[in-house]
Amino acid sequence: GAVVSQHPSWVICKSGTSVKIECRSLDFQATTMFWYRQFPKQSLMLMATSNEGSKATYEQGVEKDKFLINHASLTLSTLTVTSAHPEDSSFYICSAPDPVWGQPQHFGDGTRLSIL
């Protein structure tokens, strides 16, 4: 079946650094991917829709300059958290639509980001 790989699974870094998270569709092409954020014990909130070859579409309230999304190829979307601060600490998850039927969404295993 369709597999989405997300890397890294866990990252700890100092405040002020930038962190890049990769989301790859391993055995299929994905023109669209989605990025979600999950706070502890809460649901997933959509951050943005990543579109291959064009700009990402951000949800209201999500800072475009803070969360840079690049979908440079049909199998890779990246989320870069720029100048990260402790309040950016969270669990970030990406997903891609099923390549044949459009659904369900296939999720990566998530990235736990901790900013010290």
Residue 3 beta carbon to other proteins: minimum distance, rounded to whole angstroms: 11
Region near other proteins per CB under 8 A, out of 35-43, 62-70, 72-80, 82-90: 35-43
How many residues sit in the footprint of other proteins (CB under 8 A)?
26
Does 58 help bind other proteins (rule: CB under 8 A)?
A: no
Task: Judge contact between 108 and 95, C-beta under 8 A.
Answer: yes
Question: Which string of DSSP letters, residue by residue, matches 59-116?
Answer: PTT--TTTEEEEEEETTEEEEEE-S--GGG-EEEEEEEE-TTTS-SEEE---EEEEE-
Does 11 help bind other proteins (rule: CB under 8 A)?
A: no
The two structure tokens encoding residue 13: 């870094």
Site for other proteins, rule CB under 8 A: 6, 31-32, 34, 36, 41-44, 46, 49, 93, 95, 97-98, 101-110, 112
